[in-house]
Amino acid sequence: MTSKDLGRGVVKSYTGSLLVAMPTLRDPHFERTVVFLLAHEADGALGVVLNRPTGVSVSEVLPGWESLVSGPQVLFEGGPVGADSAICVARARAGVAGFLGFSRVVGQIGTIDLSREPGKVQERLEYVRVYHGYAGWAAGQLEEEIDIGSWFVFSALPTDPFLTQPEDLWQLVLRRQGGITAAVAHYPPDVHLN
């Protein structure tokens, strides 16, 4: 992560990082979520929720893309904004430089233009996941939510957006931090039932 002058002074850019919801964040759109930040700039931030698979097959909404999608081969709920839109997050194969339709986020991970012919990008991609909707923040909103303790911010591993058991990601990311943060992974979903 690097500091960038984003127009309001020096602000840390979290593009390519994970936002991990604090267990006390009760917004139903974000409770126990892990968000991968695709962009974080002066005018706001945009990301996708990594751990909310739906029961809808990718083949039902994007025929031709299902063979590229990493398991589970379903759409993921990317967030509450733009639910009728789709965002494709992919990891390019090692040694593949940028190519038409691929916008790099961090390392080999980026987004794919879904209007491209799937067969024209297939050989260049290692993992693919499709999200409907996204999470968005206005200028300063995400920074405020981080400051009040709604989110942890951690570095992402290259495998995080493509786990085969995405439902476990919230606990997995917290546990790998070690120390007291790892203990947060055991926080019960409802402390009143404990």
Model confidence pLDDT, tens digit, residues 64-86: 999 999 999 999 999 999 999 99
Please name each of the domains of the chain with its CATH number.
Answer: 3-193 (3.40.1740.10)
Question: Angle at Cα 146 formed by Cα 141 and Cα 140, nearest 5°?
Answer: 20
Model confidence pLDDT, tens digit, residues 46-69: 999 999 999 999 999 999 999 999
Quick one: which of 163, 139, 78 has its CA closest to 114? Answer: 78
Name, in order, each residue with C-beta under 8 angstroms of 23's C-beta and a sequence gap of 6 or more. 32, 184, 187
The pLDDT of residue 164 is above 90: yes
Amino acid at 179: G
The pLDDT of residue 146 is above 60: yes
Q: Would you state the pLDDT for residue 188?
A: 80
- pTM score, two decimals? 0.91
> CA–CA separation, 145 vs 139, rounded Å?
12
